[in-house]
Structure 1
Amino acid sequence: MYFEFVCGWCGEANVLYGEQAGFWGTKYELPEEWDCWSCDGTNVTPDGPWTEAD
């Protein structure tokens, strides 16, 4: 499933893929840190719940 996060450096939307973790499909694993595609700034993934990307 894809989740949308806003970069803390430039405010640009970023979409990350979350691997399903668990039998019922209600939990997902995302990287702890990710780099913005626009400014290359390193961001920390916030605690869930997360916004599902369109």
Structure 2
Amino acid sequence: MNSRLDVSFGFFELHTIRGMAEMKPRTGLALCVMLAIALGRIKEKQPAKMRSLVCA
């Protein structure tokens, strides 16, 4: 999970924000996007691709 947040959503690796108060909303938003992608794959009857962030 941490690797996906760091590598797949590239703005976490080279960010310019400082402090936990500014970082929490970004990580929360990224987690919501990951869950939405998984939910969309399940609704499309593609549960095998549920963990993939590459195929749109």
TM-score (structure 1 length as normaliser): 0.22
Q: Which has the higher strand share?
A: 1
Higher relative contact order (CA 8 A, sep 6+): 1
TM-score (structure 2 length as normaliser): 0.22
